[in-house]
């Protein structure tokens, strides 16, 4: 495993659905860059025993954490603690790129 990566090089999009692009993965955490075309979303879900951080690199999106929904833009950040329902949607018109950390790494 390399200790250094280019986030820009890892940004890949898919016309079919939101694309998760892996940056780093250890026994204890996952770090990905999620790329959303306009209209794409990550369905709300939960992780028992793991926390997730979303950091917006580019664009704007709707983020759901627990019972709250907020519009976040570049340099905004959100935390979904263990057990909190969370998801993301990109209403457009621009692409959305989000840096994501999950720790500890889910066991599924």
- Which pLDDT score is estimated for 1? 66
The CATH number given to 13-103 is: 2.60.120.10
What secondary structure does DSSP assign to 18-78, as a single string? Answer: -EEEEEEE-SS-EEEEEEE-TT-EEEEE--TT-EEEEEEEESEEEEEETTEEEEEETT-EE
Domain boundary assignment for the chain: 13-103
Rounded to an integer, what is the distance from CA 31 to the centroid of its chain? Answer: 9
**Per residue in 23-41, pLDDT tens?**
999 999 999 999 999 999 9
Q: What DSSP element (H or E) covers 100?
A: strand 96-103
The closest of 76, 90, 93, 86 to 36, measured between CA atoms, is 90
- Which pLDDT score is estimated for 74? 98
Is pTM beyond 0.85 here? yes
């Amino acid at each position: 495993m390399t200790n250094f990566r280019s986030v820009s090089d890892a940004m890949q999009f898919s016309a079919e659905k939101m694309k998760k692009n892996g940056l780093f993965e250890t026994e204890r955490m996952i770090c990905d860059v999620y790329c959303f075309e306009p209209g794409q979303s990550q369905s709300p879900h939960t992780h028992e025993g793991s926390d997730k951080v979303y950091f917006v690199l580019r664009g704007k999106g709707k983020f759901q954490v627990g019972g709250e929904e907020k519009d976040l833009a570049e340099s905004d950040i959100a935390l979904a603690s263990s057990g909190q329902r969370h998801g993301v949607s990109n209403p457009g018109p621009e692409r959305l790129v989000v840096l994501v950390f999950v720790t500890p790494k889910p066991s599924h």
